[in-house]
Chains A and B, each alone.
Chain A
Amino acid sequence: MKPARLVAIVFLTFVGISALVPRLWTPDSYETQLREAPDAPPSARFPLGTDALGRDRMARLLYGTRVSLTLAPAAALLSCIVAALVGGLAGLAGGWTERIVLAGLDLFMSLPWLFLLLTVRATLPLNVSALASLSITFALLGLLSWPASARVVRAAIHGLRDSDFMLQARASGVTPWRLIWRQLIPNVMPVLLAQFWIAVPVFILAEATLGMLGLGVSEPLPSWGSLLRELEGGNLRSQPWMAAPAVLLAAVVGCFQLILPREDYSI
């Protein structure tokens, strides 16, 4: 394994553990308000200072990391499941079903993904609870991003459908369900896994963009997107520690890029 890849894995593990057990670094919760210390600069008690409401920025960053790093893979999993179902159906059925599915995919892909996210998010209520906004944001990420993966799955299944081993299995009387379960799914799994790992950093970035535009996870729940939104009200020159969420986001996405096969990371 290349040293850069190893460093990336170690870093991601470190960030993951810190996000899962934030108490290792800070005693406060993301919503604990310390009214006597609003806008406090970094100190031993608050390594990244406090925000305007007196909440520990370090705690909010760690809890926000937990939200983004847990839900981006969940959204990626949802996207892969939908892609597998739709792409699998098109690849296996062929004919008119395949054509209709392909037309649907063309329709989805005729709009830039971010614009689609923005439009669909706008049709849903904006003033909702933090938990509801969290569910909406990541469900939308998962449900609107499957078309590209579905195309890849369809192409993979199309190739497998006419392969020799499938023909042999069919000729020896294997039932269609068994054929799918024992032959197709294991062979498509590497494609789906690659799609999953490509989607995770993309979803992290998309959530950050939605959050910065005010359409992501709402207060008081932190996520990288909502933390980055605070940059708009702050001054990076006098408070450079406010850039911590951006630095962590870039580092984590950069590490994902190092772990992924280079050819596969193509947005």
Chain B
Amino acid sequence: MKLFITQLGRIVALVFLAGLASALLVRFSPGSLVDERELDPRMSQQTLAALRAKRAGENSLRSGFVQYLRGAVRGDLGESTSRNAPIADLLTQNAPATLRRLAIGLVGAWIGGLGMAILVARFRRSRIMESTTSVAAGVLLSLPAAILAYFCLTAGVAVEVVLILVLVPRVFRFTRNLLVQAYGSSHVDMARARGISETRILFGHVCRDAAPQLVALIAASLSMAVGAIIPIEAICDAAGLGRLAWQAAMSRDLPLLVNLTMLIALATTAAMAIAELTLLGRGESNS
């Protein structure tokens, strides 16, 4: 319970700090105190004064950020400047598609990457398998996600497949190294000498040895997937949080970017915390 509360506190602190850091960034970004609407000659002095007062309130770190946090607690995340729409609505509209893509991408990447890693680790003396998978992973790692997205878009391939192609080589490289290391340990040799089947060795010894790092890697792969989904959705013009983040960046929609920063920080830190808690729980149950 204490560990759970510590992790929860860590998540809240990190998300708060991420929000504060992005609010600071926005406040001190060039042009943050300028509103193009002020150049409109049709604006009356009263409207201009109201605009300036509103902007001053938003840009004030103390009142602006506190006001934002109060609103966030009530579900009001402010308004997007580029889309003139409530940010909460934009997030709820775009999140499901991205979450579905992330889920499919991560599951696909783990099945593909771990599956290949198991084969390579199991038959590690097969040079053909080692070199074929290494070359394939190397080629995929040498291309940015945006290029892969463009090629797949040209070929009419689904967005989820692009995400899988981006993640598979990374998952494969990490897991292959872990499994090869685990296969090389002396207790695996001993188990094999005692005639234990390869399937039992794989699940009972190798995967068990590598489990802590694999759990940590699952959390890390979420962060990789969130990073990769931005260029993929932007290039494929697929509606989702990634495309929203890109459009917010292109139109300098800073309130939307602050919210996305906090949302992404929440997702990644929560994943890391769950991984840590799982590892700690496993450690306690083993002892």
A residues lining the B interface (CB < 8 Å)? 106-107, 110-115, 118-126, 201, 205-206, 208-209, 212-215, 228, 231-232, 236-237, 246, 249-251, 253-254, 257-258, 263, 265-267
Q: Name which residue of chain A comes closest to B145, CB basis.
A: A209
Q: Which one of B121-129, B135-143, B186-194, B204-212 is at the interface?
A: B135-143
Interface status of B224 (Cβ within 8 A of chain A): yes
The distance in angstroms between the C-alpha atoms of A232 and B141, with both chains bound, is 21
Given A213-B231, A213-B250, A228-B147, 15 further pairs, Cβ under 8 A: A111-B261, A112-B230, A114-B230, A121-B249, A122-B249, A123-B29, A124-B29, A125-B30, A205-B142, A209-B231, A213-B246, A237-B154, A249-B144, A250-B142, A257-B142
Q: How far is the CB of B26 from chain A (nearest CB, A)?
A: 6
Contact present for B31 and A125 (CB under 8 Å): yes
Q: How far is the CB of B234 from chain A (nearest CB, A)?
A: 6
Interface status of B65 (Cβ within 8 A of chain A): no
Q: Which of B29, B173, B231 lies in contact with A114, CB distance below 8 A? A: B231
Q: How far is the CB of A257 from chain B (nearest CB, A)?
A: 5
Interface status of B22 (Cβ within 8 A of chain A): yes
Q: Which of B139, B224, B269 lies in contact with A110, CB distance below 8 A? A: B269
Q: Name which residue of chain A comes closest to B265, CB basis.
A: A110
Contact present for B249 and A110 (CB under 8 Å): no
Contact present for B144 and A124 (CB under 8 Å): no
Interface status of B248 (Cβ within 8 A of chain A): yes
Contact present for B14 and A212 (CB under 8 Å): no
Interface status of B170 (Cβ within 8 A of chain A): yes
Residues of B within 8 A of A206 (CB): 144
Contact present for A246 and B147 (CB under 8 Å): yes
Residues of B within 8 A of A205 (CB): 142, 144
Interface status of B196 (Cβ within 8 A of chain A): no
Contact present for A112 and B248 (CB under 8 Å): no
Q: How far is the CB of A59 from chain B (nearest CB, A)?
A: 22
Interface status of B150 (Cβ within 8 A of chain A): yes
Contact present for A111 and B249 (CB under 8 Å): no
Interface status of B226 (Cβ within 8 A of chain A): yes
Given A107-B18, A112-B264, A213-B231 in contact, is the A122-B250 Cβ separation under 8 Å? Answer: yes
Residues of B within 8 A of A258 (CB): 138
Q: Which of A107, A121, A209 lies in contact with B146, CB distance below 8 A? A: A209
Q: How far is the CB of A210 from chain B (nearest CB, A)?
A: 9
Q: How far is the CB of B22 from chain A (nearest CB, A)?
A: 7
17 A-B pairs in the complex with CB atoms less than 8 angstroms apart? A111-B264, A111-B268, A114-B228, A118-B249, A119-B261, A123-B25, A126-B252, A213-B234, A213-B249, A228-B146, A231-B147, A232-B150, A232-B235, A246-B143, A249-B142, A251-B142, A265-B173
The distance in angstroms between the C-alpha atoms of A250 and B227, with both chains bound, is 20
Interface status of B185 (Cβ within 8 A of chain A): no
Q: Which of B26, B30, B146, B265 lies in contact with A212, CB distance below 8 A? A: B146
The distance in angstroms between the C-alpha atoms of A115 and B232, with both chains bound, is 13
Q: Mark B207-247, 1 if CB is under 8 A from A, else 0.
A: 00000000000000001101110110011000000000110
Q: How far is the CB of A219 from chain B (nearest CB, A)?
A: 16
Contact present for B268 and A123 (CB under 8 Å): no
Residues of A within 8 A of B269 (CB): 110
In the A-B complex, the 4 residue pairs with the smallest Cβ-Cβ separation, listed nearest first, are A112-B227, A123-B29, A122-B249, A212-B146
Given A119-B249, A213-B146, A215-B249 in contact, is the A114-B22 Cβ separation under 8 Å? Answer: no
The distance in angstroms between the C-alpha atoms of A125 and B18, with both chains bound, is 22
Contact present for A208 and B246 (CB under 8 Å): no
Q: How far is the CB of B163 from chain A (nearest CB, A)?
A: 13
Q: How far is the CB of A241 from chain B (nearest CB, A)?
A: 15
Interface centre among B147, B246, B261 (most CB of A within 10 A): B147
Interface centre among A113, A125, A213 (most CB of B within 10 A): A213
Residues of A within 8 A of B138 (CB): 254, 257-258
The distance in angstroms between the C-alpha atoms of A124 and B250, with both chains bound, is 11
Interface status of B257 (Cβ within 8 A of chain A): yes
Residues of B within 8 A of A126 (CB): 250, 252
The distance in angstroms between the C-alpha atoms of A261 and B121, with both chains bound, is 19
Residues of B within 8 A of A118 (CB): 230, 245-246, 249
Interface centre among A113, A115, A228, A237 (most CB of B within 10 A): A115
Q: How far is the CB of B175 from chain A (nearest CB, A)?
A: 12
Residues of A within 8 A of B250 (CB): 122, 126, 213-215
Q: Name which residue of chain B comes closest to A112, CB basis.
A: B227
Given A122-B249, A215-B250, A236-B154 in contact, is the A253-B146 Cβ separation under 8 Å? Answer: no
Contact present for A212 and B144 (CB under 8 Å): yes
